[in-house]
Structure 1
Amino acid sequence: MTPAARLAAAASVLDSIAHSRQPAEVVLKAWGAANRYAGSKDRRAIADCVYKVIRARGRLVWAMGGREDGRALVIGSLSLIDGLPLDEIEALHSGEGYGPRPLSKQERGRITAAPGELPGWVAAGLPEFVVEDFKAVFGDRWTEEAHELMAPRAPIDLRVNLAKTTVEGVEAELTEAGLSPERTPWSAAGLRLSAEPPPNVQALEAFKQGHIEIQDEGSQVACWLTGVQPGMTVVDYCAGGGGKTLGLAMLGQSAATQAAMVETPAAPVAVWSPVGGDGQGAVVQPKAKAKPVENAEMGIRLIACDVVQKRLDNIRPRLTRAGVKADLRLLGQNGGGVEDLNGQADVVLVDAPCSGSGTWRRRPEDAWRLKTDEVERLHDLQTRILKQASLLVKPGGRLVFITCSMLRAENEASAEAFEAACPDFRPVPMTEALKAANLTEAARERLGAVADGHRLRLSPASTGTDGFFAAVYERTA
């Protein structure tokens, strides 16, 4: 494909994304499948152009006079982002072959106009209606938070399956495969890969063997805050794709495996003595050997729930690959289907439905699809779900509410509504929750410092993770 044809294709893909609820990645794959003449370099160039435009969409729409079509956005990106002069942009829009048609007078005028002062939301790259929320939550740091959420590509975080292997073992596997993994700072089970060039994780033998799963470090931290221990009854109330289900299952099984090993001293061994004799007076105590404890409590009872059967079906092969188990249950729209667990669960994790605004660095297209009324709907839904899920927690048990949102309406506001409606749940200080296994000492220090009592916010700018919110509670009666 010529450079001009790639631009025309990118504009077409952008229009498809605008009229779809599918992730940009899915739309790009569908375009590639339907246009097999495009080689791998063509598809990569088109994808790079598409994501470049999506990340700067607010600024480009503003620059192009409010136009939101793919053609206008691509033209704007050539000028504002790539810095091409007018003659080069016109050469790419000659109308020849499969390239885009020539520039109109209006388009030429927009890209040659003197740049004016940008409104704050345009400069920050955020949808206009979330700016006041960011200012209220982050204060003077709001533009930094906005930039890190929208502009850079996110790295690829992996969770090592400690039920099957070790972090050191996977490091060696990935290094041998030609990658350069780094330890994640907060999750002791995490490794990080650069997004450039993007690795094909699912093609790795480590993935096929169930040694790793793709899971952002913030999501891993949320799992560890549950404090799951062997022998517990644990409910993942909104399982979704099952990433946290797998993390919880691993946490219980790997902890149980370690707990089932005890140190047993071997018989003393006589050695040669420098003072002579037969060595009977000199002994060495051999290093203790680990021996399985018979009838040790292994694993946890894990119940993963969702209101969509297809999501639950998609979790099954992931559980099999990871070598862990969970009971999968379909919930009714009003939370029915788990009444037998009322007052029985040691831990209930509620990864509540949300806008996903904490993952905009991975799916920037979602930022421009979100509307105010959707955030309000999600807040109401979260408060209902939290109240339903709280019925499952036994006295002394833990409820962990998390979202992958950056917005207060879906985070603090929902937590406050739950606290007002359910006074029999006491807040658990985050410094206490951070004592859980699989968190590094750096996590306990840094995340404890940024926590607000029993609540914790993670973000690309402050913790180098996706945006997450967590609040931890214990049932008192």
Structure 2
Amino acid sequence: MTPAARLAAAASVLDRISAGKQPAETVLKTWGTENRYAGSKDRRAIADQVYKVIRARGRLVWAMGGREDGRALVIGSLSLIDGLSVEEIEALHSGDGYGPKPLSKQERGRISATADDLPGWVAAGLPEFVVEDFKNTFGERWADEAEGLMVPRAPIDLRVNAAKATVAEVMAELREAGLSPERTPWSAWGLRLSAEPPPNVQALEAFKAGRIEIQDEGSQIVCWLAGVRPGMTVVDYCAGGGGKTLGLAMQGLAVGAARAVPAAEPERIWTPTGWVDGPKTASKPSGPVESEGRLIAYDVVQKRLDNIRPRLQRAGVMAELIQLGPNGGGVEDMVGQADVVLVDAPCTGSGTWRRRPEDAWRLKPEEVDRMHSLQMCILARAAKLVKPGGRLVYVTCSMLRSENEATVDAFEEDHPTFRPVAIADAAVSDAITPAGHTRLSELAQGHRLRLSPASANTDGFFAALYERDA
């Protein structure tokens, strides 16, 4: 493909993304399947152009006079991001072959104009309606937090599955596969891979065999803060895709169970004097590793629970998967029974915008309000399952104050029997490194913790910890 044809393809993909709700990655894969003539270098160049535009979408829409179509955004990116001259952009828009048609007078005028001072929300790269939320939350740091969320590509974080391997074993295995894993600084079970070039983790034998899971370090940390120990009754109230369910299951393994090797029958060996018992041979367990406690994963959507089942099998751990009723029914037998209840509440997912920047431009103010109301309802229901002395963990992958502080403020006012648990105390865990304990204690506001790409090089997460008094 010529450079001009790649630009036309990128504009077409951008229009598809805007017209639907699918992730940009899925749309790009579909386009590649439909256009087999495009080689790997072509697909990579088109993907780079698409993500470059999405991350700067607010600025580009503003620069192109409010136009939101893929063609306009690509033209704007060539000028504002790539720094091409008007003449160079015109050469790429000659209309020849599969390239884009020539620039209009209006388009030429937009890229020729001297840029005025950008409005704050445009410069930050955020949807306009969330800027005030960022300012209230982060103060003078709000622009840095916005840039960290919207501009850089995220690394690929992995969690080593203690039920099947050690961190050292997996690091050696990944290096043999040609990758360069590094230890995550805070999670003792985490490894990090660079996003450039993007690794195909799911094709690795370590992934297929359940020795690793893809899980952001921030997501790992909130699992470790739950304080799960062997023998506990643990509830993952909004299980979703099951990532945190697997992390909780790993914590609940009995000491030594993760590497347990059952004795096998003695091997029978033929000798000139007859059959004799040889040395006992051992093999690693093929089935799930038993936990001393009980882990229950709830969700309102049965399909999500069904999707967790093969993940549990691959990881070699166990959990009960139970569908919730539309109003939270189906948990009556668990009221006041759980040692730990983790509520990974539905949210806007704004903390993952560095991975899916297209979601930033799909979000509407009314959706944020809807999520806040839903979160308060879910948190109140889940709290009933915590037994006296048990821990309640509220988690979102949102950067927005209205989904985080506003929700737990309302919960605390209505539930005085839930006492705050300091993050610094909860972070005393073998699963959290000493450096992690120090940094988490610095970032925490008592029992509340915010993680973000700018402050922690993780996705955006919020967590609040409580213990039930009575």
Q: TM class by shorter-chain length?
A: over 0.9
Letter in 2 for 1:229: R
Match of 1:270 in 2: none
The answer to whether 1:180 aligns with 2:180 is yes
Letter in 2 for 1:79: S
- Offset, 1:433: 1.1
- Classify the secondary structure of the residue corresponding to 1:350: strand
Consecutive unaligned residues in structure 1, runs of 5 or more = 262-295
- Classify the secondary structure of the residue corresponding to 1:379: helix
Letter in 2 for 1:372: P
Specify whether residues 224 and 99 from structure 1 end up closer, same or farther in structure 2 by C-alpha distance, changes over 3 A only.
Answer: same
- Offset, 1:257: 2.3
Match of 2:267 in 1: none
Q: Determine the C-alpha separation between the residues in 2 that align with 1:148 and 1:204.
A: 29
Match of 2:336 in 1: 343
| Matched-pair contact (CA < 8 Å) for 1:162–1:254 | no
| Matched-pair contact (CA < 8 Å) for 1:211–1:322 | yes
Q: Determine the C-alpha separation between the residues in 2 that align with 1:221 and 1:255.
A: 20
CA RMSD of aligned residues (A): 1.5
- Offset, 1:255: 4.3
Structure 1 runs of 4+ with >4 Å offset: 258-261
- Classify the secondary structure of the residue corresponding to 1:159: strand
Consecutive unaligned residues in structure 2, runs of 5 or more = 262-288
Letter in 1 for 2:35: N
Q: Determine the C-alpha separation between the residues in 1 that align with 2:369 and 2:436.
A: 32
CA offsets 1:192-229 (integer angstroms, 9 cap, x no match): 00000000101111111111011000000010010000
The answer to whether 1:381 aligns with 2:368 is no
The answer to whether 1:459 aligns with 2:452 is yes
| Matched-pair contact (CA < 8 Å) for 2:343–2:393 | yes
Give the TM-score, by structure 1 length.
0.91
The answer to whether 1:415 aligns with 2:408 is yes
The answer to whether 1:358 aligns with 2:351 is yes
Specify whether residues 378 and 57 from structure 1 end up closer, same or farther in structure 2 by C-alpha distance, changes over 3 A only.
Answer: same
Match of 2:282 in 1: none
CA offsets 1:84-106 (integer angstroms, 9 cap, x no match): 11112111111121111111000
Match of 2:206 in 1: 206
In the TM superposition, what are the counterparts of 1:92-131 in structure 2 within 5 Å?
92-131=92-131
Letter in 2 for 1:386: L
The answer to whether 1:16 aligns with 2:16 is yes
Q: Determine the C-alpha separation between the residues in 1 that align with 2:94 and 2:59.
A: 25
- Classify the secondary structure of the residue corresponding to 2:252: helix
Match of 1:78 in 2: 78
In the TM superposition, what are the counterparts of 1:101-250 in structure 2 within 5 Å?
101-250=101-250
- Classify the secondary structure of the residue corresponding to 1:196: coil
- Offset, 1:260: 8.6
- Offset, 1:8: 0.9
In the TM superposition, what are the counterparts of 1:315-354 in structure 2 within 5 Å?
315-354=308-347
Match of 1:444 in 2: 437
Match of 2:393 in 1: 400
Q: Determine the C-alpha separation between the residues in 2 that align with 1:429 and 1:437.
A: 17
In the TM superposition, what are the counterparts of 1:287-306 in structure 2 within 5 Å?
298-306=291-299
Letter in 2 for 1:136: N
Q: Determine the C-alpha separation between the residues in 1 that align with 2:169 and 2:434.
A: 21
Match of 1:434 in 2: 427
Letter in 2 for 1:188: A
| Matched-pair contact (CA < 8 Å) for 2:257–2:290 | no
- Classify the secondary structure of the residue corresponding to 1:219: helix
- Offset, 1:259: 11
Match of 1:280 in 2: none
CA offsets 1:111-162 (integer angstroms, 9 cap, x no match): 0101110011111111111111111111111111111110000000000001
- Offset, 1:298: 3.6
Q: Determine the C-alpha separation between the residues in 1 that align with 2:15 and 2:360.
A: 16
Q: Determine the C-alpha separation between the residues in 1 that align with 2:291 and 2:331.
A: 23
Q: Determine the C-alpha separation between the residues in 2 that align with 1:243 and 1:403.
A: 13
Match of 1:468 in 2: 461
